[in-house]
Amino acid sequence: MTDVRSSPSVSNETGLAGLGAAAIAVAAWGTSGVIVKAVDLDPVAISFYRFSIYTLSVLVVLRIRRSRPGLTVLRHTAAGGICLGLDVVLFFTAVKSTTVVNATTIGALQPIIVLGIASRFFGERVRAREVIAAMTAIVGVVVVVTQSSGSPEWNGAGDLAALGALFAWTGYLVMAKRSAGVLTPTEYTLGTGFWTAMVALPVGFLFGQDMSIPRPNQWLVLIVLVIIGGVFGHSMMNWSLQRIPLWLGSTLTLLIPVVSSLTAWATLGEALSVPQLLAIAVVIGALAVIVLSQRTPTPTPPPTAPLTSVPDPSEPVERPEGQ
């Protein structure tokens, strides 16, 4: 699956900053689920309005910076944005059709896929102990999720939707990594946010979701969700993936169910069983092993694969932020 000889880990202060940004992103995503419960809107409607606000906000930021993103940005971000939109829709379908446990457990398998992709297409190498730690963290996540379930009702179609969401989310992260050198992280964030909203809108009507304009009190929660899940989530992760190995960013997302469980316990009073607490400790410990191993890195090969096409030499390309 991977070359276990050495790691393309964090090699300098820029990489350490990327690692910190990724940690902030997964923590933000982990708290987003609790915030979503405070919005009395259908799930796909939340996605549409959330990413619409987010895209508009990012566009304003770019214009303030005197940057004028055009159709080139939309063209280069179409694949990643559609993947993110499909992930949102398919995961919603999975949760509706099968158990949350099944949907979340299938999603937790993502690092296994990403390890193979990172090794094959990005030249990233992973130490044996890091692979073992990642597999241990996955097992821990499965325990955390399954211990929170009631009586599951299995549904094959729902599990297939969860599998589709798994590959769609993987595609989004891969395209974020491939955008290095072609788009800035902010441009990638802008384009993928736009495409996600465009995917969510027709799907919302197709699934009979209430896509009505939110009420004033709902807008407030949506804005909070945009700040936490968008600015501290997507923006930070997109920024970090241009500075850390793809497999590392993907593996850190295993913290999302852990943060969600702890946040729900602290704010909503949702109980945590002893097995869950032990599993949470295992996940945190396994990821700590991976993070600490970044102290003795080997050089990380730059992402040489183009995004979706080679940029036109006549078009000015802004250098990625921080580079």
Q: Is the predicted pLDDT of residue 79 greater than 50, yes or no?
A: yes
Is the confidence at residue 156, as pLDDT, over 60? yes
Whose structure tokens read 């501290």?
Answer: 232
101 phi and psi, to 5 degrees? Answer: -60, -50
Range in 3-7, 155-159, 206-210, 230-234 the model is least confident about: 3-7
Joined tokens for residue 208: 């009979």
Q: CB–CB of 244/176 below 8 Å? A: no
State the pTM of this model.
Answer: 0.78
Point out the least confidently predicted range of 148-162, 191-205, 258-272. Answer: 148-162
Burial class (CB in 10 A: 0-12, 13-18, 19+), 71: exposed
Q: List the chain domain ranges.
A: 25-295
Closest to 85 measured CA to CA, from 149, 177, 151, 175: 175
- Decide: 233 and 25 in contact? Cβ < 8 Å: yes
The yes-or-no verdict on residue 17 having pLDDT over 80 is yes
pLDDT tens digits for range 268-304: 777 888 888 898 899 999 988 888 876 654 444 445 4
Lowest mean pLDDT across 10-19, 96-105, 106-115, 270-279? 96-105
- Pick the most confident of 236-240, 313-317, 319-323: 236-240
Question: 120, 170, 139, 178: which is closest to 2 by C-alpha?
Answer: 120
C-alpha dihedral over 111, 112, 116, 118, to 10 degrees? 10
Lowest mean pLDDT among 21-35, 125-139, 150-164, 205-219: 150-164
Q: What local confidence, expressed as pLDDT, does residue 147 receive?
A: 73
